[in-house]
A and B are shown apart, each in its own frame.
Chain A
Amino acid sequence: MQAEIIDNIRFTTISPDMIKKMSVAKLIVADTYNEEGYPIDGGLVDQRLGVIDPGLKCKTCGGRAKSCPGHFGHLELVRPVIHPEFSKTIYLLLQSTCHSCHRILLTEEQVSDVKAAIKSFFVEDVPDENGTTVDITSLATTIEDSDNRLALFKKLKAVKKCPYCGTVQQKKKFERPTFFYLNNSRMKPDEVHDWLSKISDADVKLLGIDPAATRPEWFVLTTLLVPPVNVRPSITLESGERSEDDLTHKLLDIIRINQRLEQDIDAGAPQIIIDDLWELLQYQVTTYFNNETPGVPVARHRSTRPLKTLAQRLKGKEGRLRYTLSGKRVNFSARTVISVDPTLTINQVGVPLKIAENLTTPFYVTLWNIDEAKRLIQRTEYPMIINVIMKDGTRKRFTETNRDEILKALEPGQILEKQLVDNDLVLFNRQPTLHRISIMAHEAKVLPGKTLRLNVSVAFPYNADFDGDEMNLHVPQSLEAQAEARYLMQPKLQFLSPRDGRPILFAKEDELGGMFFLTRDGAEYSKEDACRMLASVGINELPKQTKDGTYTGKGIFSMILPKDLDFESKTSSGRIAIRKGELIEGVIDEKSMGGGGALIIKIFVDYGPDVATAILAKTSRLALGAAAQGGLTISIRDYYNTEKLDKERKIIADQVEAKAMELVQKYKEKKLDALPGYTRKETLEILVMAQLEEARHLAEQSLQKELTTENNAFLMSKVRARGNIVNMVQMSMFLGQQAVRGRRPSRGYSGRILPYFRKNSSNPEAKGYIKSSFFDGLSPTEFYMHAIGSRDSSMTKSLITAVSGYLQRRLINAMQDFYVDENSSVKDASGALIQTVYGGDGVDPMKERVAKNKMQKTA
């Protein structure tokens, strides 16, 4: 369906005549219900305004509570009051016109100048190409024009004498929210009303208001539009007592004061009393529009709670706009804590039975499945029908009592809402949803328990962990939504990242450790072990036996590979080679099955998502089996230094320190040349920093040389399972240089960070160089330096995530409706061209890898 295109929207003020035309009832009674609990005619819940109580009929349209949309009423104010939201505009108008003849304070020539400067209002009825006339007055004013208009008001304010009648202008004053003064005497709203209504249409136009839409005197209220009861429903409490809406309360106040004012005027009461009441009426109307008007005391409920009036309903985060209109809530969804389940595939999600019982999928009744539908209706336990959607779209709740009735009425075209069962596709989501892979479609697996469960491998794309994270589940209802989910959103289809074409699902941590044990050279397993491991991944065959009757780990791993796979690539420790599905050389590591993923990509591209997910799952199970068998753990022993290492670390630490001191010496002797763009002092800092950081490298190298994979901590860092060689250096060698914003710590009093050191000391330790390791423990000064560095890095980290998160959100909002069109051009929702070729080169990063791999293959 082609939607109508909205050309423009015009907001104008409503005229008293229009109010009377819209109104179905003039309200005169300051009350709601009579003693019998029946609405009073002419009261605030007059039945002509619509009905909300069931059983009553609307006196205007005859509709019942549900079918009557409600109708506006009005009330006549005995004395006019200022509309508080327009008081500023009124002031501008008063300032710009003469208080005597009510003309704009401009001479004829000046008027034509203004007309020339402010174009948008005065180019009228210009015929366009087609000969039809366009009313330019309705176009939005340009920025330039509104600037010019501001300047105009400023000029008008300063005019001393009316150019028409020659009256010397008296001082006009405005006191928020609704008081106007002429020559320091208060103007009553009726005087203001009079003045405004005497401004000519031509002058009004000059001042930026289109008189065809809005007359300035409408800014002073003479009649008040009363919203229908549907807008302000009353609630019946358990005790049978009625509790009225805040708006009704406010309107009651207005009518009450209005009536008293009328009586007093009719009785000829003294002017002071009338003025007081008038002002009170003004107050009631002001708070009716906005109970947070500055300078006005807040109107309160009997319980001292501030009343929620019109502006409060619309405003802010909890207002109608942001909460009700922009906010979205959905049915067919669930949310709870998540936890792990290794028996699930990455494509599945475990759904608690309690949730499955409450979520439904539609079952479309047709001629061909009507028997199945009958069977479903007859069921009395879990996968049963919850609702029936009749052909007219009404939803009927299914109960034990109306089963026969529903069964009898069953016909093609109805839709049964059936409880969620295994293999139904559901959307699974975790906030913040920064990614397309933060929402994926999983097959439901109904399980006992109370948590949603997922395979650990998909925790990564959701960025989820299990320390109390909650996730949302949505059940797609339409067939289109189900199809989209099935063909676009399943985890197995999201194998590669749309960002850089690298795998999203891969082996990590223990899986990598286990893979190392399994596939390293010399890994051999007895027949019993091999059988057990292979059986755990559903394989009932054994690989080739070695001469001494054992099975190699490489051979066992090869069993899960496709028989025709040929693959070769570099790894972190050499290379791997697979010939005809046989791993003949190398260790499976992070570069092949992990985040680097060359082998995974190859399998995904050549064998498709199903094979790839299956192999990944088997890899995981095999590896965890191998890890469990070998035992992969770390202990304090992994951080003991050999005598040789201990010697080396002292040498490195001292050597580097000496070199740094040397630099300082050179600097002091002015022999140090400045680097381009830096002062000599900066140069020293940079060189010293580089020198001290070098210590870490050296320590790393000696660790690399000395340690073997016998050391599990080292092994884990080597196969990229967990930890990093730097962590080992920090624990068993030394911490090295601490940094604040990439520099050595330098803040402190009188040229030192701590009074422990000498002033302007050239000792690196005075500026955050730490020679101890975590194993040794830090000295108090070292501890302090380390704390400085930690604080700096934790602050930068949190600030950077906040800033970049906001930046990303804004980019997403700006680009959310861009799409790639047929000829790979990029357009936005309005069809405007953004890029002639997507990304400037037409490359889809997700497919780019594929292209590269194909190229390698042919080469």
Chain B
Amino acid sequence: MVARELIPEHKLLSESEAKKIAKEFSITLDKFPKILESDPQIQKLGAKSGRLIQINRNDDGKKYVAYRYVIKG
């Protein structure tokens, strides 16, 4: 389940990167959409709650970047 071609790339952002991105959107980290720690992709990355994940989607060559804020659960 962790490495299927249909699952877009999940990237763990460093805390400083996360801060930068939050600033870009002028919001705090908890205002990003959320993802559970128990999500297979998060387990794979080993990310703990409080971190920000970047998801690089590629829809027929159309690139779209999404973010997820990791929460407990």
Contacts and interface: CB of A to CB of B under 8 A. Distances in A.
B25 A825 contact: yes
B64 A833 contact: no
A801 interface: no
A821 B25 CA distance: 9
Contacts of A831: 27, 31
A836 B65 contact: yes
A840 B64 contact: yes
Contacts of A834: 33
A823 B65 CA distance: 14
A558 B38 CA distance: 68
A823 B25 contact: yes
A824 to B, nearest CB: 11
A6 interface: no
A827 interface: yes
Interface string B31-73: 1110000000000000000000000000100101111000000
A823 B24 contact: yes
Interface in B1-43: 24-27, 31-33
B33 A833 contact: yes
B27 A833 contact: yes
B65 A830 contact: no
Please indicate which of the listed interface residues A821, A833, A837 has the most CB atoms of chain B within 10 Å of its own CB.
A833
A837 B66 CA distance: 9
A814 B53 CA distance: 26
A225 to B, nearest CB: 41
A833 B24 contact: no
A474 B9 CA distance: 52
Contacts of A840: 59, 62, 64
A337 B42 CA distance: 61
Contacts of A822: 26
A803 interface: no
B69 to A, nearest CB: 9
B34 to A, nearest CB: 9
Given A833-B32, A833-B33, A827 B27 contact: yes
Contacts of B64: 836-837, 840-841
A267 interface: no
Nearest to B28: A831
Contacts of A830: 31
Contacts of A833: 25, 27, 31-33, 67
Contacts, number: 33
Nearest to A825: B25
Nearest to B65: A836
A841 B58 CA distance: 12
Contacts of B65: 836
Between B24, B31, B32, the greatest number of chain A beta carbons within 10 A of the residue's beta carbon is seen for B31
B70 to A, nearest CB: 15
A821 to B, nearest CB: 8
A833 B62 CA distance: 21
A815 to B, nearest CB: 15
A821 B32 CA distance: 14
A832 interface: yes
A115 B31 CA distance: 33
A192 to B, nearest CB: 42
Interface in A542-574: none
Interface string A717-741: 0000000000000000000000000
B66 A832 contact: no
A831 B66 CA distance: 16
Contacts of B32: 832-833
A429 B32 CA distance: 37
A713 to B, nearest CB: 46
B27 A836 contact: no
A227 B64 CA distance: 59
A840 B62 CA distance: 9
A307 B32 CA distance: 52
Contacts of A821: 25-26
A135 to B, nearest CB: 21
A827 B64 CA distance: 17
A832 B26 CA distance: 10
Interface in A786-840: 821-823, 825, 827, 830-834, 836-837, 840
A836 B33 CA distance: 10
A823 B62 CA distance: 19
A833 B25 CA distance: 8
A724 B62 CA distance: 40
B31 A832 contact: yes
A836 B66 contact: yes
A822 B32 CA distance: 16
A28 to B, nearest CB: 56
Nearest to B67: A836
Nearest to A830: B31
B53 to A, nearest CB: 13
Given A833-B32, A833-B67, A836-B67, A841 B62 contact: yes
Interface in A829-859: 830-834, 836-837, 840-841
A818 to B, nearest CB: 13
Nearest to B34: A832
A837 B59 CA distance: 14
Given A833-B32, A837-B64, A840-B59, 19 more contacts: A821-B25, A821-B26, A822-B26, A823-B24, A823-B25, A825-B25, A827-B31, A830-B31, A832-B31, A833-B25, A833-B33, A834-B33, A836-B25, A836-B64, A836-B65, A836-B66, A840-B62, A840-B64, A841-B62
28 contacts: A821-B25, A821-B26, A822-B26, A823-B24, A823-B25, A827-B27, A827-B31, A830-B31, A831-B27, A831-B31, A832-B27, A832-B31, A832-B32, A833-B25, A833-B27, A833-B31, A833-B32, A833-B33, A833-B67, A834-B33, A836-B25, A836-B66, A836-B67, A840-B59, A840-B62, A840-B64, A841-B62, A841-B64
Interface of B: 24-27, 31-33, 59, 62, 64-67
Interface of A: 821-823, 825, 827, 830-834, 836-837, 840-841
Top 9 A-B pairs, shortest CB-CB distance = A832-B31, A833-B32, A831-B31, A840-B64, A825-B25, A833-B31, A831-B27, A836-B65, A836-B66
